[in-house]
Amino acid sequence: MRRVKKLSIANYIVMILVASELLMALFMLFFFYYYSDVIKESEIRKELISRNKQIMSEIDFSGDEISYDWEEIYEETEIYVMIYRDDNMIEMPGMPEFLKTIQDKGYSNILQKIKINDEIYYFKDYKTHKNKKHDIYFRYVVNLNSISSHYISTIRIGYVAILMIVILISTVAITTGKYLKNAFHKMKKEVESVGQMNDISKRIMYDGIFDEMQILCDAENRMLDRMENNLNKQKQYISDVSHELRTPISVIMAQAEYGEKQDIPSEERIDAFSVIKKQSYKMNELVMTLLELSRLDQENYKITKEDVNFAELVSFVCEGIVENAGQEVHIKYECQPAYGKGDIHLLSIAISNLVTNAIKYSEPGSIITVSTGETDTEVYIRVEDEGIGISKENLKMIFERFYKAEKSRHTKGYGLGLPLSQRIAQLHDGYITVESEERKGSTFTIFIKK
């Protein structure tokens, strides 16, 4: 796979900001260029209207002749006037010759552009109704150069505004980029220090103003918390497994060495092999339980569900336990109809663990009450005993792997039954609750979602 070249986030943000401002500047330039004629023609119309009002107020229309000082009008302004009476142009003193090039153009109240002697002119006609005898209109002609001062000033202001905006945004982009770069660099050093020191107990600190950076740091710290917790669990797990395996291995080694001796009676040699076999079974039980837990812990592990009659399943599991208990066991059934879906094999393991624990921590002959029932959304299996109970301090730890309360140190088991049962319940979208009081017994209840 081709490796993609990496880019600094800060530089990327600066590039985006600068590219955005350039696009905005180009848009504004296009806007000014495209609408420059509109602005220009708007200025011309204003000037022509103003000039027309002035002349209309000064001209005398009472007689047949139109009285006005025409030479003065051409001297004091560059807005030229042509007068038409009944569509015929009236020649006036002082009128420039170039105006005659447009004298034959008919009446139009629309602003028009024309090129005369390499110069651009605009003209527009305005009618007057002050003279009742004739149809009179005025044609105003203006050179573009004489009107461009306001237009050019407006355009220049626009260009200066665009330049100022570009400078401002560039300054903000560069400043923001530097600040972000420093913030990311600081975080990068913190993260690298954690990796280089191989110390996952160290946490990343951030005291900046960016909320996203804080969220990123918090997420990184939560990941480190999980890593540290998992690593500690792994260390404890290895220690616990080693501890549990050390005893049977030591016994097997001792019995094997004793059985190798030539001068021991055959009965003692048989006893040694019997002990080795017994310890081998214990090791196999431990290893198989660990493998089962490991298999169930996989995130992508999916259970196979089928219809389950929980009352029948509990009865079947308990019968097998009683047959192999090796002591007097009294189980009281209080099973109500309960139906749901689940993995029968895994549910049997969970029920067996709870019932076996109840027998293990109760006096011989004690009554173990097993009940089933259901609600609208859940099925439950409850196991009650009259055993030694569990202290409040130990209740918090009983679902930890390899954990055994002080009073149960000398009982058979590895402290894996409850964690395994809890994991089975979780795979069925369920959970386990426990109520216990020392010297009065315990009640474990498995809840399974229907």
Chain segment 98-110, per-residue pLDDT in tens: 888 888 888 888 9
Cα–Cα distance for residue pair 277/287, rounded to 1 Å: 15
Cα–Cα distance for residue pair 33/162, rounded to 1 Å: 13
Q: What is the mean pLDDT of the segment spanning 317-338?
A: 86
Q: Return the pLDDT at 225.
A: 87
Six-digit token string for 355: 């019932």
Task: Output the CA–CA distances (angstroms, integers) from residue 51 to 18, 48, 119, 155, in the order listed.
Answer: 47, 5, 21, 24
Instruction: Kindly tell me if the per-residue pLDDT of 94 is higher than 90.
Output: no
Cα–Cα distance for residue pair 213/218, rounded to 1 Å: 9
H or E element in which residue 412 lies: none
When mean pLDDT is compared across 55-64, 257-266, 333-342, 366-375, the lowest value belongs to 55-64
Q: What is the DSSP string of 262-287?
A: TTS-HHHHHHHHHHHHHHHHHHHHHH
As a whole number, the mean pLDDT across the chain is 82
Amino acid identity of 319? E
Q: What is the pLDDT of residues 357-371, one digit of tens each?
A: 999 888 888 899 999
Instruction: Kindly tell me if the per-residue pLDDT of 295 is higher than 90.
Output: no
Q: Return the pLDDT at 409.
A: 47
**CA within 13 Å, CB half, 38:** 5
Residue predicted with more confidence, 46 or 444? 444
User: Of 389, 402, 118, 134, which is closest to residue 246 (Cα–Cα)?
Assistant: 402
What order do you get walking across the sheet with 79-85 strand by strand? Answer: 88-90, 79-85, 136-143, 119-128, 112-116
Instruction: Kindly tell me if the per-residue pLDDT of 392 is higher than 70.
Output: yes
H or E element in which residue 381 lies: strand 378-384
Q: Return the pLDDT at 30.
A: 78
Residue predicted with more confidence, 47 or 316? 316
Q: What is the mean pLDDT of the segment spanning 177-192?
A: 77
Q: What is the mean pLDDT of the segment spanning 54-66?
A: 73
pLDDT grade, residue 72 (50/70/90)? low
Cα–Cα distance for residue pair 17/23, rounded to 1 Å: 10
Residue predicted with more confidence, 379 or 103? 379
Q: What is the pLDDT of residues 252-294, one digit of tens each?
A: 888 888 888 878 888 888 888 898 998 898 888 888 888 887 8
pTM (two decimals): 0.52
Instruction: Kindly tell me if the per-residue pLDDT of 418 is higher than 80.
Output: yes
pLDDT grade, residue 352 (50/70/90)? very high
Instruction: Kindly tell me if the per-residue pLDDT of 410 is higher than 50.
Output: no
Six-digit token string for 416: 């894996």
Cα–Cα distance for residue pair 257/202, rounded to 1 Å: 49
When mean pLDDT is compared across 297-306, 359-368, 400-409, the lowest value belongs to 400-409
Q: What is the mean pLDDT of the segment spanning 170-178?
A: 79
Highest mean pLDDT among 14-28, 181-195, 350-364: 350-364
Q: What is the mean pLDDT of the segment spanning 420-432?
A: 93
pLDDT grade, residue 412 (50/70/90)? low
Instruction: Kindly tell me if the per-residue pLDDT of 164 is higher than 80.
Output: yes
Cα–Cα distance for residue pair 384/370, rounded to 1 Å: 6
> First and final CA of the chain: distance in angstroms?
47
Instruction: Kindly tell me if the per-residue pLDDT of 226 is higher than 80.
Output: yes
Q: Return the pLDDT at 43.
A: 79
